[in-house]
Chains A and B, each alone.
Chain A
Amino acid sequence: MPIPSLFTGAGALTTQQNAINVISNNIANVNTTAFKSSRIYFVEETSNMSRPASSPTGTIAGTNPFEIGTGMKLGDISTSFTPGPLKNTGTATDLALSGSGSSFFVVSSETDDDSTAITAPQYTRDGHFMIDSDEHLCNANGDKVMGAMLYDNQTGKIRSLSGYSAVTFFADQEIGNVLPTNGTSSGLPIPTPDIVNKTGAVPVFNSSVLAELSVRGNLVQSGVGVDVALKGDLIVSKDADKKMIFTFDNGNAGTDASKFRCTLNTEQQILDNVLSFNMTNASGDVVQLRIRFEPGVTSIEDVFKNIEYDKISESSDTMIFKAGDAQSSDNITVGDKDFEYMSVPDLRKLMSPIKIPNFFYTQDPNLEVETTNFKIEANGSISAFGPLSEEIKLGRILVANFINPDGLLNKGGNKYEESSNSGIAGISVVGGPFDKNAPSISAVKIVSGALEQSNVNLANEFAELIGFQRGLQANSRVIATSDEILQTLINL
């Protein structure tokens, strides 16, 4: 006839032992690069109720429940993703993520240069990287580090950007000198590289879906003419119900007659890649706006799913597609937009292994030079330098962010994998526009020449260790006492 206290003590003993295992793992990893310490939490076991509570009846007072607990159990083991201190190593390929503890480098052992999508991504904060014989940036385990590569090592050219929904992402000034201006690969307008919006952020427009913007109208009322192609700006904003409003302004200096409006709803159909709808102005003129999209765009959601309007303040939520010449398709620019919340859901498609080539072509397509040096900047942008300081921007390191990094699976080797409770990896560039699935990472910086150290605090770990050891002793004492009581009982 064992007594419950024996099991109470035994259960607690096991859990305290687990706690000591967690602490010893933390202590063992005090010098492990980018190690994140874990912490154990206990919760009470369920109680045995030998008498439930009774309610007061007016004549008889209520009684409280009569419960005898059965000990404690493991509640949670959670990882603290606070950033660890940085240690300088002086090696350019040693990278540390500073600022936020929940951003990760993306590595993959299975993704090749010509893969169209990243396979088996893993996430790590251990930035001890090196360059292998294939010119890949990889970790000590041989996993390739992922980024968005602009420079094509095979052809020596800037990659064709068609098919990437976030191409303008790279149209920032620092990388602009290598982008083709007014490029028209597959008829796709590529924003000119000198587009920078008012706030200086990188302009983003989902240009892969937009092939033509034209407005044709019958402006009888205003006397402009019949069926003419109009020049003007198309402004997209939202109304109080967060519906999208298109306003076409043909530039007649702010007169109401020049402003044609319509509210776009998601029921509107895209037929043969063309979305057309009528807009009216204050005078009752009607114009038809035609937007032709790249093949594959079949619904309004496809076009605008990348734009998160909810989170944008009223004052800055206007996006203008400037159509300098309404009949031309190659001069569409984007401006006047605070792009911070622009989501980039297809950024994964841009991911490929980062290569730092031994030789590269300069802007002269016939001149190939040897890479004598390279640098990785705080925003993750990678440049190579030739012997005469010729510079080429190779691409950028992309990082992953998770809503709940605690939910990641620890795969050993300082690597983590996505789990059902970590949330989907939100892929972003450092400091860039954000994937709407990802937490913001504006605080993150990549530090080249440094490694993140373990965030284990030895003093805390020892204090906890002592506490758990005492807990273990106390519970073994409970077991001994229970045993003695059994002995007494048997000797009756």
Chain B
Amino acid sequence: MSFSSLQASGSTLKNLQQALDVAAHNIANVSTTAYKAKRVNFEAVTTIGVETNFSGADINSISTNFQQGRNQPTNEVTDLAIQGNGFFTVQNADGNIVFTRDGHFTIDAMSDLVTADGSYVLSAGGGKINIPIQATALEINSFGEIRAQLPSSEQMVLVDQVQLATFINPQGLESIGSNFYQESVNSGVPEFSTALAQGTSTASTAIRSGFLEGSNADLSSTFVDLMAYQRSYQAVSRAVTTANDILETTLNI
């Protein structure tokens, strides 16, 4: 018996607290557009020496579940949901290209397609998407092609097409808040394409206009996690008090 069990329990408590933070984050985001739930993966910490010691649980990774969220109707043409893999590419106020699956877009005073925080949604050509101001109606099809009804023609006119980006390892993306992700050294470089484009990694990805992707955080399983972490926390804290009692007993011999 040594102080190691006390130390192991202490670091496990810290890790459980972080796991609880992740669960709280998932619960907070059950209504967030296109939120992707996070999962904490624990690993047993073992010290191999003269004898093998198991010294608590460590977090080896926090992974993101990129499963499709349920698409919820909004009836706004410029609300887009990605059905399948991929991200919208947007250019933020700093001029950086970032990625999002949150397709709640609007049209700003310059008639550009923008996100709620004023970032420009990029087109297949990599530029801003400008909607003709005379457009009486808009339509966005499953290819992400934006068509506008102009008074000068009877048929809808193709204006632009929304760009999509995919990554070899989306888990490697950094979440920078406000539903945006940015490329990291381990995500791989973005591959740009468009929805349903044959021969690309988004060949089976469709855009749905009038829908927004819901959060994929599942309240019930997250709550189970929350309770499990809480009970584990209590159990480990019990281990701490027990170890403490033993130490005390030892010291009193």
Decide if A47 touches B186 in the complex (CB within 8 Å).
no
| Chain B, 187-211, CB within 8 A of any chain A CB | 187
| Complexed CA–CA distance, A67 and B187 (Å) | 14
**Contacts A62-B185, A484-B230, A485-B230; A475 near B27 (Cβ below 8 A):** yes
Contact between B133 and A437, CB atoms less than 8 A apart:
yes
Q: Nearest-CB distance from B177 to chain A (Å)?
A: 3
A443 touches B136 (CB 8 A): yes
What chain A residues lie within 8 Å of B178 (beta carbons)? 43-44, 46, 73, 75
Is A223 among interface residues, defined by CB-CB distance under 8 A?
Answer: no
B20 on the A face (CB < 8 A): yes
Chain A residue with the shortest CB-CB distance to B76? A80
* Contact for A53 among B29, B117, B133, B174, CB less than 8 A: B174
Residues 466-492 of A contacting B (Cβ, < 8 Å): 467-468, 470-471, 474-475, 477-478, 481-482, 484-485, 488-489, 491-492
C-alpha spacing A396/B192, complex, angstroms: 51
Report yes or no: A47 in contact with B177, Cβ–Cβ below 8 A. yes
Residue-wise interface mask of B (211-250) relative to A, using a CB-CB cutoff of 8 A (1 in contact, 0 not)? 0100000010001001100100110010011001000000
Are A407 and B109 neighbours in the complex by a CB distance under 8 Å?
Answer: yes
B24 interfacial by beta-carbon distance below 8 Å: yes
What DSSP secondary structure best describes chain A's contact surface? mixed
Q: Which of B1-20 contact A (CB under 8 A)?
A: 13, 17-18, 20
Instruction: Give the residue among B26, B134, B233 with the most A Cβ atoms within 10 A.
Output: B134
Of all chain B residues, the one with the shortest Cβ separation from A434 is: B134
Q: Does B111 contact A (CB under 8 A)?
A: yes
Given A53-B174, A403-B111, A404-B108; A42-B21 close (CB under 8 Å)? no
Q: Are B109 and A46 in contact (CB under 8 A)?
A: no
B152–A3 CB distance below 8 A: no
Task: Tell yes or no: A277 within 8 A of B by CB.
Answer: no
Q: Are B177 and A45 in contact (CB under 8 A)?
A: yes
A75 touches B179 (CB 8 A): yes
B63 touches A64 (CB 8 A): yes
Q: Which A residues are in CB contact (< 8 Å) with B226?
A: 477-478, 481
A47: which of B153, B175, B240 is its contact (CB, 8 Å)? B175
Query: Is B67 engaged at the interface, CB distance under 8 Å to the other chain?
Result: no
Q: Is A5 a contact of B234 with CB atoms below 8 Å?
A: no
Interchain CA distance A73-B25 in the complex, whole Å:
11
Which of A6-14, A183-191, A297-305 contacts its partner? A6-14
Residues of the B chain whose Cβ atoms lie less than 8 Å from the Cβ of A53: 172, 174, 184-187
CB pair B107–A8 under 8 Å, yes or no, is no
Complex interface residues of chain B between 23 and 66 (CB less than 8 A to chain A): 23-33, 35, 38, 59, 61-63
Chain B interface size band reads 35 or more
Interface residues of A in 389-405 (CB under 8 A from B): 403-404
Known A-B contacts A52-B184, A54-B185, A55-B186; the reply to A64 vs B171 at CB < 8 A is yes
**Complex CA–CA separation, A313 to B155 (angstroms):** 14
**Closest beta carbon of chain A to B112's beta carbon, Å:** 10
Q: Which residue of A lies closest to B137 (CB)?
A: A443
Q: Are A485 and B20 in contact (CB under 8 A)?
A: yes
Contacts A406-B106, A407-B109 given; does A492 touch B134 at CB 8 Å: no
Q: Which residue of B lies closest to A340 (CB)?
A: B151
Q: A71-B24, A80-B76 are in contact. Are A43 and B133 (CB under 8 A)?
A: no
With A53-B174, A78-B116, A404-B107 as given contacts, are A3 and B20 in contact (CB-CB < 8 Å)?
yes
Enumerate chain A residues within 8 angstroms of B187, measured Cβ to Cβ: 53
Contact of A341 with B172 at beta-carbon distance under 8 Å, contacts A12-B28, A41-B116, A69-B29 already known:
no
Residue A66, interface by CB 8 Å: yes
Nearest B-chain residue to A50, judged by Cβ:
B18
What residue in chain B is nearest A70 (Cβ atoms)?
A: B25
- CA gap between A491 and B102 in the complex, in Å: 43
- Contact across chains for B240 and A492 when beta carbons are under 8 A apart: yes
Contacts known (A64-B63, A67-B62, A488-B237); A8 close to B35, Cβ less than 8 A: no
A422 within 8 A of B: yes
CB of A460, distance to nearest CB on chain B (Å): 9
Chain A residues with CB below 8 A from B59, complex form: 66
Cross-chain contact B109 with A481 (CB below 8 angstroms): no
Chain B contacts for A421, CB-based, 8 A: 108-109
Residues of A within 8 Å of B117, CB to CB, are 43, 75-76
**Which residues of A sit under 8 angstroms from B185, Cβ to Cβ?**
52-55, 62
Contacting residues, chain B, for A422 (C-beta < 8 A): 109
Q: Does B176 contact A (CB under 8 A)?
A: yes
- Interface positions, chain A 353-406, Cβ under 8 Å from B, are 403-404, 406
Q: Which residue on chain B has the smallest CB distance to residue A65?
A: B174
Closest chain-A Cβ to B116's Cβ sits at a distance in Å of 3
In A420-446, which residues have CB < 8 Å from any B CB?
Answer: 420-424, 434, 436-443
- CB pair A474–B223 under 8 Å, yes or no, is yes
Please, which residue of chain B has its CB at the minimum distance from the CB of A491? B237
In the bound complex, residues from chain B placing their C-beta under 8 Å from that of A478 are 23-24, 27-28, 226
The chain B residue with its CB closest to the CB of A422 is: B109
Asked if residues B32 and A43 are in contact (CB atoms below 8 Å), the reply is yes
**Quick check: is A63 within 8 A (CB to CB) of the other chain?**
yes
The residue in chain A whose Cβ has the minimal distance to the Cβ of B184 is: A53
Q: Is A72 an interface residue when CB atoms closer than 8 A count as contact? A: yes
- Known pairs A440-B134, A474-B223; A43 contacts B33 (CB<8 A): yes
Least distance between A357 CB and chain B CB atoms (Å): 35
The answer on a CB contact under 8 Å between A403 and B107 is yes
Alpha-carbon gap, A220 to B102, bound state (A): 72
A440 touches B151 (CB 8 A): yes
How far is it, in angstroms, between the C-alpha of A482 and the C-alpha of B18 when the chains are bound? Answer: 11
Evaluate contact between B186 and A54: CB separation under 8 angstroms. yes
- 19 more contacts with CB within 8 A, not counting A8-B21, A43-B33, A80-B76, are A4-B24, A43-B102, A44-B29, A45-B25, A45-B28, A47-B174, A55-B186, A64-B63, A70-B21, A71-B24, A71-B28, A403-B108, A406-B106, A407-B108, A421-B108, A423-B111, A440-B150, A440-B151, A485-B233
A-B CB contact pairs (8 Å), 20 listed: A4-B21, A9-B27, A43-B33, A43-B179, A45-B25, A52-B184, A56-B186, A62-B169, A65-B174, A67-B175, A68-B62, A69-B28, A71-B28, A76-B116, A80-B76, A434-B151, A443-B137, A481-B226, A481-B230, A485-B230
| Top 7 A-B residue pairs of the complex, sorted by shortest distance between their CB atoms | A46-B177, A76-B116, A12-B28, A69-B25, A55-B185, A62-B186, A5-B24
